[in-house]
Amino acid sequence: MISIGTSGYSYDDWHGFFYPETLNQRDRLNFYAQHFRTVEVNSTFYRQPAPSMFYHLARKTPDDFCFVVKAYRGLTHAREEATPEAFEQFLEALAPLHQAAKFGCLLAQFPWSFQPTEENRKFLEYVRGNLGDLPTVVEFRHADWVTDDTLAWLRQLNLGFCCVDEPPLRGLMPPVVAATAEVGYVRFHGRNAAKWWKHDEAWERYDYLYNESELAEWAPRIQSLAASTHTTYVFFNNHYQGQAVKNAKQLAEQLSLDLP
Burial tier of 108 (Cβ tally within 10 Å: 0-12, 13-18, 19+): buried
Phi, psi torsion values for 128, nearest 5 degrees: -60, -45
Encode the chain (260 residues) as per-residue pLDDT tens digits. Answer: 999 999 999 999 999 999 999 999 999 999 999 999 999 999 999 999 999 999 999 999 999 999 999 999 999 998 899 999 999 999 999 999 999 999 999 999 999 999 999 999 999 999 999 999 999 999 999 999 999 999 999 999 999 999 999 999 999 999 999 999 999 999 999 999 999 999 998 889 999 999 999 999 999 999 999 999 999 999 999 999 999 999 999 999 999 999 99
* Domains recognised in the chain with CATH numbers: 2-254 (3.20.20.410)
Q: What's the pTM value of the predicted model, to 2 decimals?
A: 0.96
| Separation between Cα atoms, residue 244 and residue 40, nearest integer Å | 12
| Separation between Cα atoms, residue 119 and residue 172, nearest integer Å | 21
